Protein backbone atom coordinates (compact mmCIF):
# COMPACT_ATOMS: atom_id res chain seq x y z
CA UNK A 1 0.00 0.00 0.00
CA UNK A 2 1.39 3.37 -1.01
CA UNK A 3 0.88 6.21 1.46
CA UNK A 4 -1.31 9.01 0.13
CA UNK A 5 1.02 12.02 0.36
CA UNK A 6 -0.69 15.28 1.33
CA UNK A 7 0.69 17.85 -1.11
CA UNK A 8 -1.37 20.64 0.43
CA UNK A 9 -2.60 23.90 -1.07
CA UNK A 10 0.52 24.72 -3.07
CA UNK A 11 0.94 21.17 -4.39
CA UNK A 12 4.35 20.77 -2.76
CA UNK A 13 5.82 19.01 0.26
CA UNK A 14 9.20 19.66 1.86
CA UNK A 15 11.67 16.82 1.44
CA UNK A 16 14.72 16.32 3.62
CA UNK A 17 17.66 14.61 1.92
CA UNK A 18 19.80 12.57 4.28
CA UNK A 19 23.00 10.68 3.48
CA UNK A 20 21.93 7.04 3.72
CA UNK A 21 25.35 5.96 4.95
CA UNK A 22 26.54 8.68 7.33
CA UNK A 23 23.17 10.07 8.41
CA UNK A 24 24.23 13.64 7.58
CA UNK A 25 21.30 15.89 6.71
CA UNK A 26 22.25 17.29 3.31
CA UNK A 27 19.50 19.68 2.24
CA UNK A 28 15.82 20.50 2.21
CA UNK A 29 13.93 21.15 -1.00
CA UNK A 30 10.34 20.90 -2.23
CA UNK A 31 8.69 18.08 -4.11
CA UNK A 32 5.67 18.06 -6.42
CA UNK A 33 3.69 14.92 -7.31
CA UNK A 34 5.57 14.77 -10.64
CA UNK A 35 8.93 15.16 -8.87
CA UNK A 36 8.07 12.28 -6.55
CA UNK A 37 6.99 10.14 -9.48
CA UNK A 38 10.23 10.88 -11.36
CA UNK A 39 12.27 10.10 -8.24
CA UNK A 40 10.60 6.74 -7.83
CA UNK A 41 10.76 5.88 -11.53
CA UNK A 42 14.42 6.81 -12.05
CA UNK A 43 15.97 6.24 -8.61
CA UNK A 44 17.48 9.76 -8.74
CA UNK A 45 16.27 12.57 -6.47
CA UNK A 46 14.02 15.08 -8.21
CA UNK A 47 12.61 18.23 -6.66
CA UNK A 48 10.48 21.16 -7.68
CA UNK A 49 12.17 24.56 -7.81
CA UNK A 50 9.84 27.23 -6.44
CA UNK A 51 12.05 30.06 -7.77
CA UNK A 52 12.43 28.62 -11.27
CA UNK A 53 8.96 27.05 -11.18
CA UNK A 54 10.08 23.77 -12.69
CA UNK A 55 10.81 20.14 -12.02
CA UNK A 56 14.47 19.72 -11.23
CA UNK A 57 16.81 16.75 -11.22
CA UNK A 58 19.35 17.19 -8.42
CA UNK A 59 22.83 17.20 -9.93
CA UNK A 60 21.50 17.58 -13.46
CA UNK A 61 23.96 20.39 -14.20
CA UNK A 62 26.62 19.82 -11.51
CA UNK A 63 26.81 16.04 -11.80
CA UNK A 64 26.23 15.83 -8.06
CA UNK A 65 23.43 13.32 -8.32
CA UNK A 66 21.53 11.76 -5.46
CA UNK A 67 20.75 8.06 -5.83
CA UNK A 68 17.70 7.40 -3.68
CA UNK A 69 17.80 4.32 -1.47
CA UNK A 70 14.44 4.87 0.18
CA UNK A 71 11.67 7.45 0.39
CA UNK A 72 10.02 7.85 3.78
CA UNK A 73 6.97 9.88 4.72
CA UNK A 74 6.15 11.40 8.09
CA UNK A 75 3.15 10.71 10.33
CA UNK A 76 1.03 13.45 8.73
CA UNK A 77 2.18 12.43 5.25
CA UNK A 78 3.10 16.03 4.47
CA UNK A 79 6.89 15.76 4.59
CA UNK A 80 9.26 13.36 2.83
CA UNK A 81 12.66 11.99 3.76
CA UNK A 82 14.94 10.91 0.93
CA UNK A 83 17.70 8.53 2.01
CA UNK A 84 20.36 9.08 -0.63
CA UNK A 85 23.85 8.33 -1.81
CA UNK A 86 25.20 11.81 -2.55
CA UNK A 87 27.72 12.23 -5.35
CA UNK A 88 30.14 15.08 -4.51
CA UNK A 89 28.37 17.73 -2.44
CA UNK A 90 24.71 18.64 -2.02
CA UNK A 91 25.27 22.39 -1.67
CA UNK A 92 25.87 24.86 -4.47
CA UNK A 93 28.42 26.57 -2.18
CA UNK A 94 30.66 23.51 -2.46
CA UNK A 95 29.82 22.07 0.92
CA UNK A 96 28.80 18.49 1.45
CA UNK A 97 25.64 19.69 3.25
CA UNK A 98 23.65 22.90 2.91
CA UNK A 99 23.60 23.01 6.73
CA UNK A 100 27.27 23.95 6.98
CA UNK A 101 26.77 26.88 9.39
CA UNK A 102 25.41 27.32 12.85
CA UNK A 103 22.87 30.09 13.31
CA UNK A 104 25.71 31.95 15.05
CA UNK A 105 27.61 31.95 11.76
CA UNK A 106 30.26 29.36 12.66
CA UNK A 107 31.22 27.19 9.72
CA UNK A 108 31.02 23.56 10.83
CA UNK A 109 30.47 21.68 7.55
CA UNK A 110 32.99 20.19 5.17
CA UNK A 111 33.71 21.88 1.83
CA UNK A 112 34.15 19.22 -0.85
CA UNK A 113 34.33 21.10 -4.17
CA UNK A 114 34.97 24.52 -5.64
CA UNK A 115 31.72 25.89 -7.12
CA UNK A 116 33.72 27.83 -9.77
CA UNK A 117 34.89 24.49 -11.17
CA UNK A 118 31.39 23.05 -11.32
CA UNK A 119 29.00 25.82 -12.32
CA UNK A 120 29.63 27.85 -15.47
Instruction: Give residues 6-35 in contact with a second copy (rule: CB under 8 A).
Output: 14, 16, 18, 22-25, 27-28
Q: Is 93 a residue that touches a second copy (CB under 8 A)?
A: yes
Closest distance of CB 98 from a second copy, Å: 4
Burial group, residue 116, by CB count within 10 angstroms (0-12, 13-18, 19+): exposed
Region of 41-49, 57-65, 86-94 interacting with a second copy (CB under 8 A): 86-94
Closest to 68 (Cα-Cα) out of 86, 34, 91, 43: 43
Distance (Å, whole) CA 25 – CA 87: 14
- Interacting residues with a second copy (CB under 8 A): 1-3, 5, 14, 16, 18, 22-25, 27-28, 36, 40, 70-76, 79-81, 91-93, 95, 98-105, 108
Amino acid sequence: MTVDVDFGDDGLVPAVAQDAETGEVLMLAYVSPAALDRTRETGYAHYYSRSRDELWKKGGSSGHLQTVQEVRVDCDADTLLYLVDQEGGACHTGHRSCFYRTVDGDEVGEKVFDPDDVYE
